[in-house]
Chains A and B, each alone.
Chain A
Amino acid sequence: MSNNYLEIIRPGINTTFQDKGRDHLYHIGIPFSGAMDNRNYLIANKLVNNNLDTAVIEFAYQGPHIKYTGEKINFAITGDVFFLIKKKDNEIKGNCYQSYQIENGDEINVVSTNKSVFGYMAIGGELDIKFQWNSCSINTKANIGSNDGKKLDVGQIINFKKINLNKDIKKINYINTKIENIRVLRGTNFDYFSEQGKQTFYKKEFIVSKLSDRMGMRLEGPKIENIVNTNIKSEGLIKGVIQVPADGNPIIMLSDHGTVGGYPKIGTVASVDYDRLVQMSPGSKIKFKEINLSDAEILFKLYEMETQNLLSQI
């Protein structure tokens, strides 16, 4: 055990280590993984002066309750998160998008995410966790990554390889915008669906189902009618692909998705909207809006410039 470590008093519901993800492995069935909401992941690291590809703690809905032992250190939380910081006998409510200093014995209690799904905790320094294929990201379905590919557990100790401390508090004004319209590009099996099915897809409202996780987001609502075949020969998938199985309810592939699939693809979520898509909690309403490839590329460039601009302000 090193001198600086975190102890998990309560792990939360779906708490994992995540970083930028792993690439070049789709062909053997290993997905990208990585932080679901990339922008919030990057901002969290920047707030504690970490390299931007450092592993962070990702949580969903209820987050972890953590006790810190060691020398002074910084941490920051991003997302739309309600959390408490306990120092000796004093408990304060924490603000997202601001770094804090904690010291020996302090506790961080991440109570919940507000009307969103994922939040991120970055801690100044480097956690002593395993890399697998150049990434610490945990994929709990395939048990890949750090922590033996499993969620964080109660009583667990997480050591640091090194710590860095900034005396100055870093802060940024940022509000996670919510969107109802998710922009999509036309899918490779768009013609499998009836005229009415296509209309349903673009005009009607869908609801995010409870059966959503890091692998996929299931939607409920009007059924999308298929007139050709409800199965195709299995072929490669990427995150954001919207498949429609025989029951007519769309499923959106998320970061831990299976690498091949056999349901017709009606569309793919534009990269610009992915970070906001994954934050839509069960019960949220979604409407799809079609855009073309060149608009999608321009919109992503703008989104990326905005992200870089935010990072440069910290």
Chain B
Amino acid sequence: MIKNISNLGDAALYCDFGNEVNKSINSQVIKYFKTIKEQKPVGINNLTPSYNKLIVSYDLRQTNFKEVKKFIENINIEDTQKTYSKQLEIPVCCEESFSLDIKRLEEILNLKREKILENFFNKEYFCYMTGFIAGMPFLGDLAENMRAPRLETPRVKVPKGSVALTEQFANIYTFESPGGWNILGNTPLDVFDNSKEHKPNLIDPGDIVTFKEITLDQYKNFYE
């Protein structure tokens, strides 16, 4: 449940669900996000769900803090139909030229490559949020022994499709961008495709994701 609602500037509401990062709190955030999105209230122009916060932005020409707060407070999320989520399998190739930080991970985690891959692929992940760059999913939770900090110096260019780890999360770089996560492999899948106007992003908050290891040949022939 929302613990506190305050203002973020004069054109957004800051809904605080607490400070912990776990599935049960995040599921609440996502429930609110989906419910508000379906209702399309006038004046609300953006919703940004994250681990334990929901930012509701509005057009100050059409509404204000007081009105939006009242609207949010009166939402009964139990009334809305069960919010959908989907299951997805993402192919990942961990061949040497893709696995840019495997040596660093072996050292930090004190695990051999095979063990790291085994741990990574034999797990189900939950999409907490998407964003930072367009369509990038934040997928949790990695097992305790798989958690590594960010690189001390972020890369200027992380290749598109890179699958990377930091702390309890895995993510996918949807296009080339700067970034400091530990890169484990690469997916040939277009996780964000801005030519698809209606649905550019493959993974939505609340979705369940598994990764499947593929060979370099399978990677190269993926679109054939």
User: Known: A132-B197, A236-B53, A260-B48. Is A188-B8 also a contact (CB below 8 A)?
Assistant: yes
The reply to whether the CB of A32 lies closer than 8 angstroms to some CB of chain B is yes
**Interface code A248-277, partner B: CB below 8 Å = 1, 0 otherwise?**
000000000011110001001111000000
In the bound complex, CA of A121 to CA of B205 (Å): 40
Complex: chain B residue closest to A303, CB-CB: B60
Quick check: B7 and A293 within 8 Å, CB to CB? yes
B11 contacts A271, C-beta separation under 8 Å:
yes
Contact A236 B55 (CB under 8 A): yes
Q: Does A144 contact B (CB under 8 A)?
A: yes
- CB-CB contacts of B118-148 with A at 8 A, as 1s and 0s? 0000000000011111111010000000000
Contact of B134 with A142 in the complex, beta carbons under 8 Å: yes
B87 interface hit (Cβ, 8 Å): no
Q: Which A residues between 179 and 209 are near B, CB-CB below 8 angstroms?
A: 185, 188
Q: Which residues of B contact A297 (CB under 8 A)?
A: 10, 60, 64-65
- Count of chain B residues near A, Cβ 8 A: 46
**B33 is an interface residue with CB less than 8 A from chain A:** yes
CB pair B133 A240 closer than 8 Å = no
Q: In the complex, what's the smallest C-beta–C-beta distance from A234 to chain B, in angstroms?
A: 6
A167 to B7, CA, bound (A): 48
Query: Is A27's CB under 8 angstroms from B9's CB?
Result: no
- A225 to B55 Cα, complex, angstroms: 26
Is A26 in contact with B134, judged by CB distance below 8 angstroms?
A: no
Knowing A142-B134, A235-B51, A297-B60, say if A27 contacts B33 (CB, 8 Å): yes
* Distance of A171 Cα from B206 Cα, bound (Å): 53
Q: What per-residue 1/0 map shows which CB atoms of B47-84 lie under 8 Å from chain A? A: 11111111101001100110000000000000000000
A233 at the interface (CB under 8 A from B): yes
Docked Cα-Cα span, A142 to B131, in Å, equals 12
Shortest distance from the beta carbon of B68 to any chain A beta carbon, whole Å: 12
| Cross-chain contact of A27 among B11, B131, B133, B194 (Cβ < 8 A) | B131
Assembly CA distance A149 to B133 (angstroms) = 15
Q: Are A142 and B8 in contact (CB under 8 A)?
A: no
Q: Is B200 part of the binding interface, using a Cβ–Cβ cutoff of 8 Å? A: yes
Contact B50 A236 (CB under 8 A): yes
Contact of B194 among A132, A188, A236, A260 (CB under 8 A): A132
A27 close to B65 (CB less than 8 A): no
Complex-state Cα separation, A85 to B134, whole angstroms: 40
Interchain CA distance A188-B15 in the complex, whole Å:
11
Which of B11, B54, B60, B174 has a CB less than 8 Å from the CB of A236? B54
Query: At the interface, yes or no: A108 with Cβ under 8 Å from chain B?
Result: no
Taking CB atoms, residues of chain A closer than 8 Å to B21 are 233
Q: Does A311 contact B (CB under 8 A)?
A: no
Q: How far is the CA of A297 from the CA of B205 in the complex (A)?
A: 32
Which residues of B have CB within 8 Å of A269? 9
Residue of A nearest to B9 (CB): A268
A134-153 residues at the B interface, CB under 8 angstroms: 141-144, 149
Cβ of B57 and Cβ of A26 under 8 Å apart?
yes
Nearest Cβ on chain A to B218's Cβ, whole angstroms: 28
A82 within 8 A of B: no
Query: Among the interface residues B9, B51, B174, B197, which one has the most CB atoms of the partner chain A within 10 A?
Result: B9
* Chain A residue at minimum C-beta to C-beta distance from B55: A236
Which residues of the partner chain B approach A132 to less than 8 Å between Cβ atoms?
194, 197
The interface residues of chain B lying within 8 Å CB-to-CB of A142 are: 133-134, 175, 194
Q: Are A235 and B50 in contact (CB under 8 A)?
A: yes
How far is it, in angstroms, between the C-alpha of A303 and the C-alpha of B192 when the chains are bound?
Answer: 38
Are the CB atoms of B45 and A28 closer together than 8 Å? no
In the bound complex, what is the Cα–Cα distance between A23 and B10 (angstroms)? Answer: 17
A144 touches B7 (CB 8 A): no
Most buried by B among A27, A143, A235, A241: A27
Could you tell me which A residues sit within 8 Å of B by CB distance?
Answer: 23-30, 32, 132-133, 141-144, 149, 185, 188, 233-238, 240-241, 258-261, 265, 268-271, 293, 296-297, 300, 304
Provide a sorted-by-A list of 27 A–B residue pairs whose CB atoms are within 8 angstroms: A23-B45, A24-B46, A24-B47, A26-B55, A27-B33, A27-B37, A27-B46, A28-B130, A28-B201, A29-B131, A29-B192, A142-B133, A188-B14, A233-B52, A234-B50, A235-B51, A235-B53, A236-B49, A236-B50, A237-B55, A238-B11, A241-B8, A258-B132, A293-B7, A297-B10, A297-B65, A304-B60
Given contacts A142-B133, A236-B54, 12 further A-B pairs with CB under 8 A are A27-B47, A29-B132, A29-B134, A29-B174, A185-B10, A233-B52, A234-B138, A238-B55, A241-B8, A260-B50, A297-B60, A304-B61
B interface residues, Cβ below 8 angstroms from A: 6-12, 14, 19, 21, 33, 37, 45-55, 57, 60-61, 64-65, 129-136, 138, 174-175, 177, 192, 194, 197, 200-201, 205
